[in-house]
Amino acid sequence: MKLATQPATRQINRLCGLPRFGELGKDGVAEMVRVLREHADNENHAERAVTEWIDHNKWLPSCAELIEVLEQTLSKPAKIKPNWDCEHCKGSAYERTWLLVTYVRHPSGEKKSTEETEITPEMAAELSQTVDNHFQKVVDAVKYCRCSFGQQIKELRRLRQAEEAQKGKR
């Protein structure tokens, strides 16, 4: 067992405001404490998982759901710090990019699509004078920076979107 009984009980008691907690009884509470003891790496991990559940759900978790949220919660908090020295994003996690957007029409005229090509700022300046802005446009956009901070932010957003999609399926 990774977590002592007292800290696990303390975290389970935080769920007492959720509907049906009173119906658990001693055996139900003991089972949830056991789940936390066996699946949480430490009290901090258990606290973050319970907080995550409370913040995003309106019902009492089953033991299986508690295990799932523990597995999805990092055992150590993510230490993400902006890279203020990054020449591309200056710590914002995003860098500016230029795109040549070409609108493509299917010969039948029914289907339309776009092709986007990343271009340099110099090419953007040159092309912005020559494109017709009807079938092609030069646009500026942002993307996640290639620095480690930008990539960490990108991964966190991907995980959050996957989590939201999973909740939508419930």
Segments making up each domain of the chain, as ranges: 5-77, 94-144
For residue range 8-59, list pLDDT tens digits in order.
Answer: 999 999 999 898 888 889 999 999 999 999 999 888 889 989 998 998 888 9
For residue range 86-114, list pLDDT tens digits in order.
Answer: 999 988 889 999 999 988 877 776 777 88
Question: Quick one: three-class SS letters along the chain?
Answer: CCCCHHHHHHHHHHHHHCCCHHHCHHHHHHHHHHHHHHHCCCHHHHHHHHHHHHHHCCCCCCHHHHHHHHHHCCCCCCCCCCCCCCCCCCCCCEEEEEEEEEEEECCCCCCEEEEEEEECHHHHHHHCCCCCCCCEEEEEEEEECCCHHHHHHHHHHHHHHHHHHHHHHC
Structure tokens at 73: 């919660």
pTM for this prediction: 0.48
For residue range 125-164, list pLDDT tens digits in order.
Answer: 999 888 888 789 999 888 999 998 899 888 888 877 877 7
Using the predicted structure, report yes or no on whether residue 1 has a pLDDT greater than 60.
no
